[in-house]
Structures are given as C-alpha cells and as structure tokens.
C-alpha cells in the first residue's frame, strides 16, 4: 500500500496498469490488411476479400469434453478408407469459393497473411509475424485446430482427425505416399525428393547451389536415417532444455519485434519446408517459402507432426507463464464461418481441444 494516494486515484492507476498490460499482449490489427513483400521486388496479396474487422466475433469455447476425441495418427499408417476420406475432405475444401473463409485458398492465404506481415501488430506500425518467436507453436496449433474442424464439417464427421507426417520415425522419413495422388498432390515440390528418397532433416537450401557447403543429398539412406535421429535428439532434447530454447524469443508488444526461432522451428521445421519445395523456384515454392507454403496440402501433415512434438516436449517441460504470452490472441473462422477470438492460453492442453496423438 503506497501512502498518500487517495482512494479516487487508485482506479486510474489501475486502469493505466491494465492498458500497459494490454499493450504487451500481441494481437493483429485486423482493421487494415495490406500487400506484403515476401522478397525484394515481389508483392503478394493474401488479404481477405472483405475486412475481418467488419465481422462480429465470438470468444473461443472448448469443445464439449464428452465428445469423442479426434485421434491424429501417422500418415504412413492410415488405412485406405482414412486416406480416401481425407482426400475427399480436401477436395471439398478446394471446391469452396474464395468468398468462403473455409476454402482451401483462403486457408492458405491466412498463413500468408501472418507470415508476410499483411497485418500490423495492434498499437504498432510493425508487421505481424508468427514465425521465429514464441508465437510459432501456438499460432500453428490454432490454425490446425480450425483446419481440422472445417474438414470434419465438410464431410459431416465430427470425429474426423488430421494425421501427421512422421519424419522423425525411420518408417516415416519419405513423403507419405498418400500425398503423391489426388487432391493431396502438388507439383511445386522437388521431384528429386519424391519417394523413396529419405527426407533430410538438416537440409541446407543453399548447399545445392553452393558446392562449398556440405550437401548430404547423396548420403546413403541408412546413414541419412541415423543423421536424422541424431538431429531430433539435439532439437527436442539436449538443445531444448528451457522454454526459451525450445519455444523461441518473447514476442511482446507494442514494439513486438524479436527474431529468435526455437530449436525445433529452425530444424526440422524450416529444413523440411526447404527440402520439400521445388529447387527450380526462386524461394523453393511452394513449401520452401512462407507465403506459399500452405498451398501444399503436405504443409498440414508437416505441421501436425511439429504440433505433436511440442506436446511431447511439454510432457517434461513447463509452459511459458508470462501473461503477455498467455493472453496473446488471434482470429480464425470456424466450421460455421464464425469469426472466433482465441488466446494462446486456450491451446496449451490438447485434451481440452478435443484431440490426441496415437500410433
Ligand atoms: Cu507457418 Cu511451417 O510455417
């Protein structure tokens, strides 16, 4: 209790404190979406056709805890029926008009918006960026959650679950076969990395053009597998002992600007993006560049594995307790096209979100 402050002054002091707290909590300024520049001389427009700020929004509610869990399994172990179902759901999503926020192109562009700075951070002129910081895991978890709910709604199945590209497991170290066909195929991928080529978790995108850098492209598949497993150990265990190391730097407002990806984001996240995208495109689009990555359906299986590994790491490590992190919020459209405001604190526990990982 500070002496000398009259009762009347306490609320304003308190309000001031609340405003200061709110300024630390980062969220996008959705009133103004603008063109973005993923690299010099190139602009992209990924903004929604009508401003999201003109839509009413609702606050996120956890799914009914008595509803069946959505069980996400590895892509390479799915049954023919499950593959067919997924193909159908994505085909339906692709057929929705651009007007519909649930359409595949709008979903892809949502990722583009948040990774190229098409929105600014609120109270700031700085572009919003959900990579290279503690935003990385929770933002993508939100994105996958709504993606899953929408796909389930389109095929009328509320137990529908995503699956993961299990590249950290010797049995999953190739592009899953199901992604080589139908609505899941994408030709903007590196053809020399098609199955049975083993994924290179430490892929260096500059090495193919710069012969002085080590390029493990021709490594024996068995050797490659061992190198992949060793990399997993450093990125998930030995190099990731604290939330700062694993989650990335603190992105707080209003000068929200930090550049420090966590171990997992650096590799295998970034490296698998680069390895998958086509080497004949400037930025190895689609997967190799943020603005185009989510145009490839494989993006979602890649990120579901990242999401699973975050959950594995959480088993033995604490969450970030900073309220600036916990209260950071974003907006997503749900399966009924409603705009939903959701906070990072809502997505820490996957059981509450209604899903689980299994083999
Ligand atoms: Cu938002 Cu894998 O990138």
Tokens describing residue 319: 């969450």
Catalytic-residue membership of 125 = no
| DSSP code, position 31 | E
Please pick, among 60, 104, 111, 145, the residue that the annotation labels catalytic: 111
Active site residue 140: yes
Q: Who lines ligand 1 at CB under 6 A?
A: 111, 115, 131, 140, 269, 273, 293, 303
The Cα–Cα gap between 332 and 162 comes to 18
Pick the atom of ligand 1 nearest to 303's CA. 2
Contact 330, 139 (CB under 8 A): yes
Q: What's the pLDDT at 223?
A: 93
| Two structure tokens written together for 80 | 């023919």
Pick the catalytic residue: 140, 145, 193, 302?
Answer: 140
Q: How many helices (H) and strands (E) does the chain have?
A: 11, 10
Neighbours of 19 (CB within 10 A): 10
Residues listed for the chain: 359
Separation between Cα atoms, residue 12 and residue 5, nearest integer Å? 11
Q: pLDDT (tens digit, 0 to 9) for every residue of the chain, 359 residues total?
A: 343 344 444 557 777 777 777 888 999 999 999 998 877 788 999 999 999 999 999 999 999 999 999 999 999 999 999 999 999 999 999 999 999 999 999 999 999 999 999 999 998 999 999 999 999 999 999 999 999 999 999 999 999 999 999 999 999 999 999 999 999 999 999 999 999 999 999 999 887 655 555 554 467 899 999 999 999 999 999 999 999 999 999 999 878 778 999 999 999 999 999 999 999 999 999 999 999 999 999 999 999 999 999 999 999 999 999 999 999 999 999 999 999 999 999 999 999 999 999 98
Q: Say whether 14 is catalytic.
A: no
Distance from the alpha carbon of residue 8 to the mean position of ligand 1, in angstroms = 49
Instruction: State the Cα–Cα distance between residues 79 and 71, nearest whole angstrom.
Output: 14
Cα separation of 260 and 263, whole Å?
9
Closest CA to 168 of 319, 349, 307: 307
9 CA distance to ligand 1 middle (Å)? 47
3-state DSSP assignment of residue 232: helix
- Answer for the pair 176, 81: CB distance below 8 angstroms, yes or no: no
Q: Closest ligand 1 atom, CA of 299?
A: 2
Active-site entry in 137, 147, 290, 330? 290
* Contact predicate 76/166, CB 8 Å: yes
Cα of 294 from ligand 1 centre, angstroms: 8
Strand order in the sheet with 70-74: 163-164, 70-74, 355-357
Q: Is 156 left (phi over 0), alpha (psi -120 to 50) or beta?
A: left
Q: What are the start-end ranges of the E strands in 41-106?
A: 42-44, 57-59, 70-74
- pTM assigned to the model: 0.93
140 CA → ligand 1 middle, Å: 7
Ligand 1 centre from 209 Cα, in Å? Answer: 24
Note the helical H segments in 155-201: none
Q: Catalytic: which of 269, 299, 325, 344?
A: 269
- Ligand 1: residue whose CA is nearest its atom 3: 290
CA of 297 to the centre of ligand 1 (A): 12
Ligand 1 atom at minimal distance to the Cα of residue 273: 2
Cα gap 243→263, rounded to integer Å: 10
Quote the pLDDT of residue 218: 64
From the candidates 145, 163, 302, 303, give the one annotated as an active-site residue. 303
Write the DSSP symbol of residue 238. Answer: I
């Amino acid at each position: 209790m500070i002496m000398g402050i009259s009762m009347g002054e306490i609320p304003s002091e308190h309000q001031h404190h609340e405003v200061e707290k709110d300024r630390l909590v980062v969220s996008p300024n959705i009133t103004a979406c603008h063109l973005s520049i993923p690299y010099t001389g190139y602009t992209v427009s990924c903004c929604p056709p009508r401003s999201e700020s003109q839509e009413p929004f609702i606050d996120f509610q956890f799914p009914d805890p008595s509803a069946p869990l959505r069980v996400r399994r590895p892509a390479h172990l799915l049954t023919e029926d499950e593959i067919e179902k997924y193909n159908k759901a994505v085909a339906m999503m692709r057929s929705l008009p651009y007007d519909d926020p649930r359409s595949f192109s709008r979903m892809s562009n949502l990722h583009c918006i948040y990774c190229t700075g098409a929105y600014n951070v609120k109270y700031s002129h700085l572009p919003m960026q959900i990579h290279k910081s503690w935003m990385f895991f929770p933002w993508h978890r939100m994105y996958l959650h709504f993606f899953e709910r929408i796909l389930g709604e389109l095929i009328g199945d509320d137990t529908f679950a995503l699956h993961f590209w299990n590249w950290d497991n010797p049995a999953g170290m190739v592009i899953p076969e199901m992604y080589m066909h139908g609505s899941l195929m994408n030709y903007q991928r590196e053809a020399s990395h098609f199955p049975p080529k083993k994924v290179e978790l430490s892929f260096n995108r500059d090495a193919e053009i710069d012969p002085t850098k080590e390029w493990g492209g021709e490594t024996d598949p068995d050797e490659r597998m061992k190198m992949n497993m060793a990399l997993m150990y450093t990125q998930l265990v030995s190099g990731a002992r604290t939330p700062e190391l694993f989650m990335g730097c603190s992105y707080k407002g209003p000068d929200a600007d930090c550049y420090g990806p966590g171990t997992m984001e650096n590799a295998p996240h970034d490296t698998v993006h680069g390895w998958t995208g086509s080497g004949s495109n400037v930025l190895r689009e689609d997967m190799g560049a943020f603005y185009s990555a989510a145009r490839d359906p494989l993006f979602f299986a890649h990120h579901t594995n990242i999401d699973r590994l975050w959950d594995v790491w959480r088993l033995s490590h604490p969450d970030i307790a900073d309220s600036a992190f916990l209260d950071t919020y974003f907006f997503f459209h749900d399966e009924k096209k409603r705009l939903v405001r959701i906070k990072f604190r809502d997505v820490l526990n996957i059981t509450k979100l209604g899903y689980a990982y299994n083999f």
